[in-house]
């Protein structure tokens, strides 16, 4: 058995204590969002098997997915898609183009574009239901 240096404390503590640059956070977020999206594709494939069970089963499911809770979850899912897609493009630029020179600027763009599109999607998704909700009060 080769010599294996042991960290002075636990694995988690070592990782948490390690100083993180903006790029480290992007790396961590890319992994977390990636795992989340992978979990989601499993759910998505399973959910759509209802298509083979006829219109009734499918419409019932769509009714469930258009409830407010699922709408908000879908919106949050979009944030994972946005970050993972934009940061993925950044990774490709760093690996295959001269993105390494500007990776921090590109990261700013990733977060900026992400936040703008996330808010934009929120407006698109919730403008009507919110307007309807407040219409009764007005």
Partner 1 sequence: MYKHTGSRGSGAPSWVLQRITGLLLVVVVIGHYFVMHANPASGHTYAAVLDRMHQPFWKMFDLTFITVGLWHGLNGTWGIFRDYKMKPAVSLTIYGIIILSGIAFWVLGVNTILSF
Beta carbon of residue 137, minimum distance to partner 1 (angstroms, whole number) = 25
Q: Is the dihedral of CA 56, 57, 58, 64 positive or negative?
A: positive
Q: Which stretch binds partner 1 (CB under 8 A): 17-25, 50-58, 105-113, 129-137?
A: 50-58
Regarding 91 and contact with partner 1 (CB under 8 A), the answer is yes
Regarding 18 and contact with partner 1 (CB under 8 A), the answer is no
Q: Which of 42, 123, 132, 135 binds partner 1 (CB under 8 A)?
A: 42
Q: Where do the DSSP E strands lie in the chain?
A: none
Closest CA to 90 of 71, 73, 103, 78: 103
Q: Which of 85, 99, 109, 113 binds partner 1 (CB under 8 A)?
A: 85
Regarding 88 and contact with partner 1 (CB under 8 A), the answer is yes
Ramachandran assignment for 59, one of left (phi > 0), alpha (psi -120 to 50 degrees), beta (any other): alpha
Helix (H) or strand (E) holding 135: helix 103-135
Regarding 10 and contact with partner 1 (CB under 8 A), the answer is no
Token couple for 84: 């993972």
Are 29 and 90 in contact, with CB atoms under 8 Å apart? no
Residues that bind partner 1 in the complex, under the rule CB under 8 A: 31, 34-35, 37-38, 41-42, 45-46, 48-49, 51-52, 55, 58-59, 62, 65-66, 81, 85, 88-89, 91-92, 95-96
């Amino acid at each position: 058995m080769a010599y294996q240096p042991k960290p002075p404390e636990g694995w988690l503590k070592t990782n948490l204590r390690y100083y993180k640059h903006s790029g480290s956070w992007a790396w961590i977020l890319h992994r977390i969002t990636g795992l989340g999206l992978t979990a989601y594709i499993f759910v998505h494939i399973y959910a759509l098997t209802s298509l083979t069970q006829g219109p009734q089963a499918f419409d019932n499911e769509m009714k469930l997915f258009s409830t407010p809770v699922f709408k908000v979850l879908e919106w949050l899912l979009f944030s994972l898609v946005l970050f993972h897609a934009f940061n993925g493009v950044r990774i490709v630029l760093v690996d295959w183009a001269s993105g390494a020179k500007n990776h921090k600027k590109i990261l700013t763009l990733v977060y900026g574009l992400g936040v703008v599109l996330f808010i934009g999607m929120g407006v698109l998704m919730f403008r009507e239901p919110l307007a309807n909700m407040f219409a009764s009060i007005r």
